[in-house]
Homo-oligomer: A and B are copies of this chain.
């Protein structure tokens, strides 16, 4: 409600993170970007220079007034690990603060094993330790389920079979680094806000298609998480009354209608692909102008369009970002989606932009990494103590020395 003071650690780490992600900037640039007064920026920069964390670079040419002195990091700000947990494997990436991936790996993992927690710790630890010289600011984890808060990281996931699993606390204790856990689509929304089209919008919607169907919504710059971290669970919105059975027990959920499994099953039933072929082959058929394959995707685009239109009516975002592994075949979804999407919107919203991401299999893990990269900019999100630890790592001079 009423806001406490005490943002010094946020401001200092945000400056370092900004320079790490956006490159050299002037005091005036930083003050504008981070929303603080020029007077305060002078003081903060003085501290950071005195701490040996940043240095003055060359002057930038005048834009009509006094030329600006650019500032840069003294050393690398550190790296971030991002992990996406699936039921039969984990994807891991190591990134810089600017989101650039420096290393990645996909590893076998069984979420239903009785030793899944220790297995996870071992997998992340060995990935982390394979680059022993890097300062790891933190580990971001994306899961297909709901999470109480990012900083606490208690996971509830039907898909993984996890019920109130203290994932965040276990990982951060065992790894000795800060860990932030979030629903995987919300993590993607965080990444979009930091690096993607969402960067220039306070209100945007991310929709993911593929094996699952999900959404993440950012309003007023903050991710909508809901009462228990379960916002965005659109995969189980009823899209077709009395439609096909869904894994959740209900009928006609959008995920049961257009999820990858459903498309593959329909394609096998129609003989478009064989019983051992999968979504990649279906896409190949559509790419090769197979009318049935194309019709299948076009048909899937329609309920998706209607559902997303409903989300736009509810949330009034400025843009819609479509993401997820299913976007590899977006050109085939597009016309079915666009027609029903636009037709289902009231006229004042009909021109809303839809941006489709190019997808890479690392992107779920990259989204998770963005949780950590985002923490320096916010103290009012749900990152709590773990967020504070990330910020402390950024601003700690002793950590810096080790990394250089």
Contacts and interface: CB of A to CB of B under 8 A. Distances in A.
A27 to B, nearest CB: 15
A3 interface: yes
Interface stretch (A6-14, A96-104, A114-122, A169-177): A6-14
A226 B203 contact: yes
A337 B314 CA distance: 20
B315 A226 contact: yes
19 contacts: A2-B377, A3-B380, A203-B226, A219-B219, A219-B226, A219-B231, A224-B224, A224-B315, A229-B316, A231-B315, A232-B314, A236-B313, A236-B346, A237-B309, A237-B310, A238-B310, A248-B346, A248-B347, A314-B315
A34 interface: yes
A109 to B, nearest CB: 24
Nearest to A11: B2
A346 B250 contact: yes
A349 to B, nearest CB: 7
B2 A10 contact: yes
B1 A34 contact: yes
Given A237-B309, A249-B347, 9 more contacts: A1-B14, A2-B11, A203-B226, A203-B227, A217-B314, A219-B225, A228-B318, A232-B314, A241-B306
Interface residues of A, number: 63
A316 B2 contact: no
Quick one: which of A34, A35, A233, A345 has the most chain B CB within 10 A?
A233
Contacts of A10: 2
Given A221-B1, A222-B220, A316 B230 contact: yes
A208 to B, nearest CB: 14
A159 B347 CA distance: 13
List 8 A-B pairs, minimum CB-CB distance, nearest first: A226-B316, A230-B316, A227-B318, A203-B227, A231-B316, A237-B310, A236-B346, A1-B35
Contacts of A221: 1
A313 B233 contact: yes
Quick one: which of A11, A227, A349, A380 has the most chain B CB within 10 A?
A227
A36 interface: yes
A316 B146 contact: yes
A234 interface: yes
Quick one: which of A1, A34, A249, A317 has the most chain B CB within 10 A?
A1
Interface in A308-354: 309-311, 313-318, 343-349
A5 B238 CA distance: 46
Quick one: which of A14, A309, A313, A314 has the most chain B CB within 10 A?
A314
Nearest to A236: B346
Given A226-B316, A228-B316, A316-B225, A233 B2 contact: no
A127 interface: no
A215 interface: yes
